[in-house]
Amino acid sequence: DTGVSQDPRHKITKRGQNVTFRCDPISEHNRLYWYRQTLGQGPEFLTYFQNEAQLEKSRLLSDRFSAERPKGSFSTLEIQRTEQGDSAMYLCASSFLGNTEAFFGQGTRLTVV
Amino acid sequence: SQKIEQNSEALNIQEGKTATLTCNYTNYSPAYLQWYRQDPGRGPVFLLLIRENEKEKRKERLKVTFDTTLKQSLFHITASQPADSATYLCALGMDSSYKLIFGSGTRLLVRP
């Protein structure tokens, strides 16, 4: 399967713990995005990379959130000191330079207990 | 304030009919608008893109219109099938950013 891959699919963690999610985009895609989606809502933009450069961050991305794309390939999203309000589906998407159509992964569902 | 509104109530129609979903926006000037389909527990899947200078786009049984004066897009599925049952999301795109701004989606149920 050459689609966007996210790992893990599900994560349950205790409040205050750190979690890290991984996203492997479609291999020739330069752009990578992270979104967060809660039940009954559409995805909300978190951050965007073009190759390894993080070019845009949402104000939703508090200082507990950090994202990296070290070699312009896969990306990680880390949440430190998780809170119950962080419970959501975290979606990764990628697109090809010059194309705005985004290809989404299956998401990582985070539950903070 | 800036808003994107999609019908929060589910749209329930009979198989074979045309489904029409609405996306209205306020205080945005999008360069383009996209429609995505999302099934439960899965990521959104891209369906169609329409640019601000286009009035209508078609792809198989799908049709999208874009009225920048009314600040509205309509999404039509003709000859609907039970397999079309899903949540449909509209998303705005701006020239100044590559992020998409999504509405909350409308759930479509097609009865056999």
Per-residue pLDDT of chain B (112 residues; tens, 9 = 90+): 889 999 888 999 999 999 999 999 999 999 999 999 999 999 999 999 999 999 999 999 999 999 999 999 999 999 999 999 999 999 999 888 889 999 999 999 999 9
DSSP state, A63?
T
Q: What is the pLDDT of residue A1?
A: 54
Question: Cβ–Cβ of A43/B32 closer than 8 Å?
Answer: no
The C-alpha atoms of residue B11 and residue B79 are separated, in whole angstroms, by: 15
Amino acid at B45: V
Residue A99 has pLDDT above 80, yes or no: no
* Closest partner CB to A104 (pick from B8, B43, B101): B43
Q: Chain B contacts of A4, Cβ < 8 Å? A: 43
Q: Chain B contacts of A61, Cβ < 8 Å? A: none
Q: Chain A contacts of B37, Cβ < 8 Å? A: none
Let me know: does B32 contact B49? Beta carbons within 8 Å: yes
Question: Cβ–Cβ of B49/A45 closer than 8 Å?
Answer: no
CA-nearest of A111, A108, A99 to A35 is A108
Q: What residue of A is the nearest CA neighbor of B8?
A: A40
> Which tokens is A95 given?
């697109």
Beta-strand pair A31-37/A88-95: antiparallel
Question: Cβ–Cβ of B98/A33 closer than 8 Å?
Answer: yes
In this prediction, residues A8-31 reach a mean pLDDT of: 96
CA-nearest of A40, A38, A48, A61 to B100 is A48
CA A20, chain centre distance (Å): 10
Let me know: does B77 contact B11? Beta carbons within 8 Å: no
Let me know: does B11 contact B63? Beta carbons within 8 Å: no
Q: State what percent of residues in chain A have pLDDT above 90.
A: 87
